[in-house]
A and B are shown apart, each in its own frame.
Chain A
Amino acid sequence: MSHPAKASEFLQDAAKAKWHDETLWFVRDKRDTISKTIPEWEKLRELASQIKDNVLANLDKYLVQFEEKATANGIKVHWAKDAEEHNQIVLSILQRHQCKAIVKSKSILTEECHLNPFLENNGVEVVDTDLGERIVQFLNQPPSHIVLPAIHLKKRDISELFHEKLHTEKGNEDPAYLTHAARLHLREKFLGAKVAITGVNFGVAETGEFVVCTNEGNADMGVHLADVHIACMGIEKIIPRRKDLGVFLRLLARSATGQPITNYNSHFRSPAAGKEIHIVLVDNGRTDQLAREKFKNSLKCIRCGACMNTCPIYRRSGGYSYGSVVPGPIGSILSPGLDVKKYSTLPFASTLCGSCTDVCPVKINIHEQLYEWRQEITKAQGTNAKSISMKIANGIFAVPFAYKVTGVMMRGALKILPDSITYSGLNTWGKQRDLPETPKETFKDWYKKNRT
């Protein structure tokens, strides 16, 4: 289904759509307020953007440096060219440890690689330990937002779900009660898992360390109880120096949720005695995107989700309307790089209002890339009715006489046609909107009479 179809389905439940819009606007508002307490906010964004420019221009060198340092620290580094290879690497580590149950803390990369179904098909129980992720996992749904994975659900939905899955009291919607139930449930899973999987927010090239940011401490809980830690990392997550974290951690938390700092910024360098740390470095289309001059900046993304919270489309159509792992504006410029046909409606699911670009902590020119993807998509689609009409339009606007004749016809038609036709289903504009009244003369006619 295309984005417009799914969006109009989402809007059918007007009350819920309004709630979704207001909830995410609240998050954006929090982000606005806290970002304005940092006088150098715009400088920080610029600095972050420049650091990422440097990373993208030297990615090969930084990755090799990162591998060397990490290896020297006792970490095992693996390289995966695509999702399949990534999944195989993870599975082989689990098999070596005869591990049948793992805990995972939020990782969008593993969603992108569809690791959960792959492991489950190979007899491994996967438990997502981020509360929101666990909720959507119970429902067999993907996350609808990269930072707030269950934001499409309300307290009542969670209460019903937990009653069914965790046997909480029927009808008890108290958030503290429900969270406590989830905590008990997850404790058991943490204690039982020999292997913990996490994502990576930042990999530091100069030290071979990596940082994982969570608000719930679930990554730490999983990792410290397990014998083996597998960290899955997209190759663009590199930053050059440890001190660069001072820029990115400040931007990330404020942009994501309006917090001054993420609750747990956990730094990992070496495995504890008798334990193992693995890092899987994943390409999966990233070097292809890096090779696209107009779109490579999309790889600067630090996955804060601010562009989703600010997007007037996302807020009113929900994460699932995009049908891609990463929804919202950033998803709409990343996904066509993976499959231009499948995601062809996404760059058009925007008014090019530019709010995403202004909110982005690493200054990705998101709306300009949406515009550029439109140009690529129409090329890829070849000749169709729309492309022909555009050629005709160009012919009209390039020739003043043709433009004049068309204009007269257009206005004439609007005057003559009865409302039943003007506002029929054929006229999408008029379904819920009146058309402007047609004036008796154009400005051009007026000007000729009055000024020449």
Chain B
Amino acid sequence: MTQNKKIGLFIPCYVDQFYPNVAIATLELLEKLGCEVSYPLGQTCCGQPMANAGYERDTVGTTKHFVEIFGDYDYIVAPSGSCVLHIKDHAPAIAGMEKEQESLHYKIFELTEFLTDVLKVENLKGSFPHKVGYHASCHGQRGLRLGSSSERNEPFFSKAKQLLDQIAGLEWVELTRTDECCGFGGTFAVTEEALSVQMGKDRLQDHLTHGVEILTGGDMSCIMHLEGIAKRNQQPLKFMHIAEILNQVIS
């Protein structure tokens, strides 16, 4: 399916800077699954932090750069629902690059949807004997529709669960509020600090109440926020990006 296809790895800027292990896990995982992946060194940021703060108009240069860097790939894969959603929904139109931008929309994938929908991963071999709680990031959940939304009347699905269920010994823990926001929200985390932290505490409590050992998710931004609160309060939770679990499990 992806033979002879050029796959570009898009690593969000803060993952590059703070979570290189998540990026390495993503790369190794894709390689183990038989993909030829390259990481264009000139990449920077998708522009989301600025756009969500109300300055989409100031992201023209950033967006143009992104299109130039990734335009030639057949697929672009990122371990982040949020950044992928930004490229799809909020990157400003660049004059003269309309065609490239349009095609980008169909070529860019968040990691789990690339695994389930493009690579059609069905038989992961490996074991991970832990109780795992999944934090569905809102941009992945309701933006990219990586899982059924609790608000809507639709059959249950979750691309992350579809993958994690293949792993021997892994116990997917059901939460009380299956897809409530963690309160990160980009600049919201700072401008509405009190609310942001309260929302994070409430999410953590849901995981703790249900006996989660390892909290995972598809977006490190949510996990950075949740882990920051858990560490400050010495709560007994481990945090891993879903790429780290999958990469660790399969050989």
Contacts and interface: CB of A to CB of B under 8 A. Distances in A.
B11 A443 contact: yes
Contacts of A375: 54-57
A378 to B, nearest CB: 4
A396 interface: yes
Interface string B119-135: 00000000000000000
Given A348-B188, A397-B44, A433-B232, A358 B183 contact: no
Nearest to B226: A433
A398 B193 CA distance: 29
A374 B53 contact: yes
A436 B227 contact: yes
Nearest to B60: A394
B20 A443 contact: yes
Given A350-B185, A353-B185, A378-B55, A41 B153 contact: yes
Interface stretch (B98-106, B109-117, B143-151, B165-173): B143-151
Contact of B183 (A312, A387, A398): A312
B61 interface: yes
Interface stretch (B70-78, B197-205, B209-217, B242-250): B197-205
A167 interface: no
A358 B154 CA distance: 12
Contact of A351 (B56, B185, B231): B185
A3 interface: yes
A21 B202 contact: yes
B174 interface: no
A442 interface: yes
B180 to A, nearest CB: 6
Contact of A434 (B21, B23, B228): B228
Nearest to B190: A428
Nearest to A398: B61
Contacts of A313: 192, 195, 199
B175 interface: no
B93 interface: no
A310 B152 CA distance: 12
Interface string A149-170: 0000000000000000000000
A292 interface: no
Given A351-B138, A355-B142, A433-B200, 18 more contacts: A4-B195, A7-B194, A38-B153, A310-B151, A348-B191, A351-B199, A352-B138, A353-B185, A371-B51, A378-B54, A387-B58, A391-B58, A397-B47, A400-B42, A407-B16, A433-B231, A442-B16, A447-B39
A398 B194 contact: no
Contacts of A349: 192, 195
Contacts of A243: none
A386 interface: yes
Nearest to B37: A451
A431 B190 CA distance: 10
A5 to B, nearest CB: 9
Nearest to B189: A429
A399 to B, nearest CB: 8
A322 to B, nearest CB: 13
A432 B193 contact: yes
Contacts of B185: 350-353
Contacts of B24: 443, 446
- Main secondary structure, interface of A, reads helix
B208 interface: no
A42 B191 contact: no
B107 interface: no
- Nearest 8 interchain pairs by C-beta: A351-B185, A433-B228, A398-B61, A378-B54, A374-B54, A8-B194, A358-B151, A354-B142
A370 to B, nearest CB: 10
Given A350-B188, A355-B142, A42 B198 contact: no
A357 interface: yes
A371 B52 contact: yes
Contacts of B32: none
A28 B88 CA distance: 30
A233 B15 CA distance: 52
A429 B221 CA distance: 13
B13 A436 contact: no
Contact of B64 (A32, A39, A398): A398
B18 A438 contact: yes
A395 interface: yes
Contacts of B143: 354
B50 A394 contact: yes
A25 B141 CA distance: 19
B162 interface: no
Interface in A112-158: none
B17 interface: yes
Nearest to B66: A397
B244 to A, nearest CB: 13
A45 to B, nearest CB: 9
Nearest to B56: A375
Contact of B198 (A36, A316, A358, A431): A316
Interface string A217-251: 00000000000000000000000000000000000
A180 interface: no
Given A7-B192, A351-B185, A439-B18, A447 B153 contact: no
Contact of A390 (B39, B55, B139, B180): B55
A444 interface: yes
